[in-house]
Amino acid sequence: MKLLDLFCGAGGAAVGYHRAGFEVVGVDNRPQKNYPFEFIQMDAFEALERFGPHFDAIHASPPCQAWVDSANKSKHPQLIEPVRDALKETGLPYVIENVDSAPLRDWVMLCGTMFGLKVIRHRLFECFPSFYFSPYSCNHWGSVAAGDFAAVYGKGAQGNRYTDSGGNQKRYLPPKSSWTMEFWSEAMGIDWMNRREMTQAIPPAYTEYIGKALREPRFKAV
């Protein structure tokens, strides 16, 4: 069973599908030296057209910036709809992954705490054929500030800006223990990426769960 991993990044999704029993090939338009499986540097749409029919299922993680940076939405690529249309044309089982503010359909939401991970990272998965269940409910008891969860985000140790109750711009600094690479690695279940790559990744536990569902008899990727 083979899965084509579009917009693959450094392979957080890929490792999960591999653990679920898929042979994975990644595609990204930028070099991904830490991607752990076969990798093709190519435009995702071109790769889908050329290679899609040779796979049993397809995963796509199109850019999320438009849905994260809503104030500057028009400055970022908005590829979810064209990706969905292209995937539907293949007739294959597919998964589209994105942030929880993205316009996905018939999605299932996954969080690291559902899998016992020390990271709160909500991601939506639009799956065809659809299924509507998560493994567990989120367990957000605790906080990054107390070191209960890893602060895996782009600003890292520098923290993120916020406005306090008096309207003053300040910078939130999580405790040092929550932004070390050791803690990030444990929290995400990822030990092959650098810091920048990990801020963009999803824990492999998510797609291991999705991949096992894809292999159920009611799906075609069996």
pLDDT over 60 (residue 220)? no
pLDDT value of residue 217: 67
- Decide if 219 contacts 213 (C-beta within 8 A): yes
pLDDT over 90 (residue 82)? yes
| β partners of residue 57 | 3
Q: What is the mean pLDDT of residues 30-41?
A: 98
pLDDT value of residue 216: 79
Q: How many CB atoms lie within 10 A of CB 25?
A: 21
pLDDT value of residue 124: 96
161 vs 39, residue with greater confidence:
39
Q: How far apart are CA 5 and CA 26, in angstroms?
A: 5
In the structure encoding, which two tokens stand for residue 111, read together?
């969080």
pLDDT value of residue 209: 95
> How does pLDDT run across 103-130, given as a tens digit for each residue?
999 899 999 999 999 999 999 999 998 8
pLDDT over 80 (residue 168)? no
pLDDT over 50 (residue 36)? yes
pLDDT value of residue 152: 79
* Confidence grade of residue 159 (pLDDT, cut at 50, 70, 90): very low
Would you give the distance in Å from CA 87 to the centre of its chain?
18
pLDDT over 60 (residue 164)? no
pLDDT value of residue 222: 46
Q: What is the mean pLDDT of residues 78-94?
A: 95
pLDDT over 60 (residue 89)? yes
pLDDT over 90 (residue 67)? no
Of the listed ranges 8-22, 77-91, 118-132, 163-177, the least confidently predicted one is 163-177
